[in-house]
Amino acid sequence: MLPHFVGCDNSNLILEKCLAERLTNQLNSRIAKTMKPKLIPCLALVLSGGLFGCSTNPPVAETKVFDYSIGESPVTDGLLLTGLGKSFSIYAAADSWPALVQKVKPTFAWNGCDMMSVETDKRGQPQFILDEAYIYQPTNQPRQCILVKDERTKENYEVWQHEDWWRQFSMCNVRAVVSLQDSKPVSNDWGDYGNYAVVIAANQRYGIVYEIGWQEEMSTGNAHPEYGRRIYVFKDNTNRWHFLGEGPGEGAERGGWDIVKSQVVWDDSKTNELPLQIKLRRESTDYATGYDDDTNRPPDVTTNDFVLAGKFPARWFP
């Protein structure tokens, strides 16, 4: 007797169809049971981006380019480098400033020449890579926009010190990799603080504000000014970075010195784009450097207050 399947008629034609359907269902069931354990890890690989060589790292965030100027830029001011000697080398190059930004992909770009990339060091702390772009055109060569790497060391001091190439960077900046420090360094006898990064304020609700010092190259003038730029960034509690702007410079020269103190005031009023403002106080000391009787007078000390607030990046000057 032919077997009877539930839901099927026992006539030959219908029975043949039911047998085919039953065999097909059994085969599909076996295939599903066999493939199920393999599909799960494969799906996980696809979702994590690990299949077919895809990186599991998060995508690089788009560079934030700001129309923000501090009034001085080797690119817009027309400074032209015609050589680098043994003191410097080219770190990156492109046909223009926008093309250079696109190539390097920093976190922030501003002032028509400055870049900052925010990375994480081996300690798990933020690390700031600072670059300043220059126009470079050796004789009979096409003009390029470049980033330079400082090749000067104590070992080759006698070589680069007698070259004139380093002088063209006077009062400008070169590449710096800046790690986070526990406190702001003390300046040396020349007013040089060096490159540094410190936390100047932290708020459990809002985030962390960092001050970054970027030392300028020494001037070749008689006053020998040693000044550094002060840059401020904010990491909010969603781990997003914000460029707050630059404050007044800090340093010294033959005729006096400038000291800058910063204070973060947390303020979530609608007048501020971010829930903070930075109050800056610059104390300037000037003393006589001539050769007349007035050189013994006490130095003149003046204090000026500034603020970074409102729409960021903000200016400390009008």
Task: List pLDDT tens digits, range 58-86.
Answer: 334 689 999 999 888 888 777 899 988 88
| Domain segments of the chain as ranges | 12-53, 61-177, 181-318
Question: What is the predicted pLDDT for the residue at 37?
Answer: 38
For the chain, give me the number of helices (H) and strands (E)?
3, 15
Res 78: pLDDT: 77
Distance in angstroms (rounded) separating the CA atoms of residues 29 and 45: 25
Q: What pTM was estimated for this model as a whole?
A: 0.76
Does residue 127 or residue 85 have the better pLDDT? 127
Q: DSSP string covering 108-136, please?
A: EEETTTEEEEEEE-TTS-EEEEEEEEEEE
* pLDDT at residue 247 greater than cutoff 90: yes
- Tokens matching residue 230: 């002060």
Is pLDDT above 80 for 108?
Answer: yes
Distances (CA, A) of 71 to 83, 108, 111, 257: 25, 18, 8, 21
Query: Which pLDDT score is estimated for 206?
Result: 96
Q: How confident is the model over 156-183, as pLDDT tens digits?
A: 666 666 676 677 787 789 999 999 999 9
